[in-house]
Structure 1
Amino acid sequence: MTDGELKRFPDHKFGQAFTTIKCECSTYLLWLEKRFRKAGGQVEQRRVNSLQELSNSYDIIVNCSGLGSKTLVGDNKMYPVRGQVLKMEAPWLQHFIRDGDGMTYIYPGIHNVTVGGTRQEEDWRLQVDEGDTKSILVRCSRLEPSLSKARVLSEWVGLRPSRRNPRVERELVQLQGRRVPVVHNYGHGGCGVTLAWGTALDALGLVRQCLHEMPLQAKL
């Protein structure tokens, strides 16, 4: 950024400006589901406490259970990173602003502006923390003073399904007397959208390997 551009941020000595894309996840996920159904996929919502519950229904299991993998497959390397954000009404903001440490950010969207945030490891709380809300408003208003007159529309908390290294691999699991291939694809943390297509293609490759190695079963 030029010296003139940096005058907007008196607490900073260096900055970068660039053009990128922003994903509206609430819309994007609905589009992905529609694409999946159109390709012949079926969606069933239910609680699964153990892979054993799926042993008689599927020949291959793809485990994308995120933070649930801590209990579902006993992966103790999984941990939550709590994130809290605010949705604000500030239609005059057209550019994103992100502080260097990634803890403070302002992301204009189609319907509102997302401001945040927190990155609290091993924190399982899903309740809104008023202290975090005040901290977010103070930090983001330093970057963009006009936010002080913006209206808070909602507060939101989520847990990033984190792992030091995302797990994308296959294994054979003994389920009810059968050896069932399980392809794991989880642990993306806060980079799920960024890594999704790449790790999905890797997982698909592992599924194809499993199918190739399966013995042909003749139906009489």
Structure 2
Amino acid sequence: MTEAELKKFPQHVFGQAFTTLKCECPAYLPWLEKRIKGSGGWILTRRIEDLWELHPSFDVVVNCSGLGSRQLAGDSKIFPVRGQVLQVQAPWVEHFIRDGSGLTYIYPGTSHVTLGGTRQKGDWNLSPDAENSREILSRCCALEPSLHRAYNIREKVGLRPYRPGLRLQTELLARDGRRLPVVHHYGHGSGGISVHWGTALEAARLVSECVHALRTPAPKSKL
């Protein structure tokens, strides 16, 4: 950023300005679902307690259950990082603003401006916290004072599925002589939308390997 641009942020001594893309999930996810159905895929809504409940109806399972993998995959390494944001009407805000730590951000979108945020490790609370909201608004107003005029303020809370490292691997479950290939694909944390296309391609490759293995006859032993 130029010195003139930095004058807008007197509490900072360095800044970067760039053009990027923003994914609007309320529009993007239905588009992905439409692609799945258009390719012959089915969308089934069902609650399961064990991955084995999907056998033998499905030959290969892709586990994208996020925090649900604590139970379904017995993975104690995955934990929630609670995020709370505000969605406000401030149509005059046209540029993204994010501080150095990434904890405070202002993201304008097609229907509202998102103000954030929080990173609360191990917190499962899905109810909005009034003090969090006050802190978020205060921090964002420090970056963009015009947000004091924002209206129609709504609180949103979500849980990010964090893990020390993304789990993207194949596991062959075995029980009573039965086998169930599972491709684990979870633990993206707050970066899911940023990296999902690339990790999905890798997950698809692993599924192809599982399908190939299922179709390949096991070698017969020779005595």
Alignment of 1:132-171 (within 5 A): 132-171=132-171
Q: Do structure 1's residue 194 and structure 2's residue 221 form an aligned pair?
A: no
Greater shift after overlay, 79-88 or 51-60? 51-60
Alignment of 1:51-70 (within 5 A): 51-70=51-70
**Counterpart-to-counterpart distance in 1, 2:42 and 2:207:** 18
Asked if the contact 1:103–1:118 (Cα under 8 Å) also holds between the matched residues in 2, the reply is yes
Alignment root-mean-square deviation, CA: 1.1
**Counterpart-to-counterpart distance in 2, 1:34 and 1:43:** 10
Q: Deviations over 1:94-126 (max 9, x none)?
A: 100001000000000000100010011111100
Q: Do structure 1's residue 129 and structure 2's residue 137 form an aligned pair?
A: no
The residue aligned with 2:81 is 81
**Counterpart-to-counterpart distance in 2, 1:85 and 1:176:** 48
Alignment of 1:180-219 (within 5 A): 180-215=180-215
Shift of 1:152: 3.6
Q: Deviations over 1:150-192 (max 9, x none)?
A: 1143110000011110000001102464111100100000000
Asked if the contact 1:86–1:152 (Cα under 8 Å) also holds between the matched residues in 2, the reply is no
Q: Partner letter of residue 26 of structure 1?
A: P
Alignment of 1:37-116 (within 5 A): 37-116=37-116
Q: Deviations over 1:129-156 (max 9, x none)?
A: 0010000000000000000011143110
Q: Partner letter of residue 44 of structure 1?
A: L
The residue aligned with 2:220 is none
* Alignment CA distance shift 1:148-1:116 (3 Å): same
Q: Partner letter of residue 123 of structure 1?
A: D
**Counterpart-to-counterpart distance in 1, 2:112 and 2:150:** 11
**Counterpart-to-counterpart distance in 2, 1:167 and 1:35:** 25
Q: Partner letter of residue 138 of structure 1?
A: S
* Matched positions, count: 217
Give the match's secondary structure for 2:187.
Answer: strand
Structure 2 unaligned regions, length at least 5: 218-223
Q: Partner letter of residue 213 of structure 2?
A: E
The residue aligned with 2:221 is none
**Counterpart-to-counterpart distance in 1, 2:11 and 2:92:** 23
**Counterpart-to-counterpart distance in 2, 1:151 and 1:128:** 18
Asked if the contact 1:52–1:176 (Cα under 8 Å) also holds between the matched residues in 2, the reply is no
Q: Deviations over 1:170-220 (max 9, x none)?
A: 011024641111001000000001110111010111111111111458xxx
Asked if the contact 1:55–1:175 (Cα under 8 Å) also holds between the matched residues in 2, the reply is no
Q: Partner letter of residue 41 of structure 2?
A: G
Taking structure 1 as the reference length, the TM-score comes to 0.96
Greater shift after overlay, 207-216 or 125-134? 207-216
Identity level (%)? 57
Taking structure 2 as the reference length, the TM-score comes to 0.95
The residue aligned with 1:5 is 5
**Counterpart-to-counterpart distance in 2, 1:2 and 1:64:** 43
Structure 1 unaligned regions, length at least 5: none
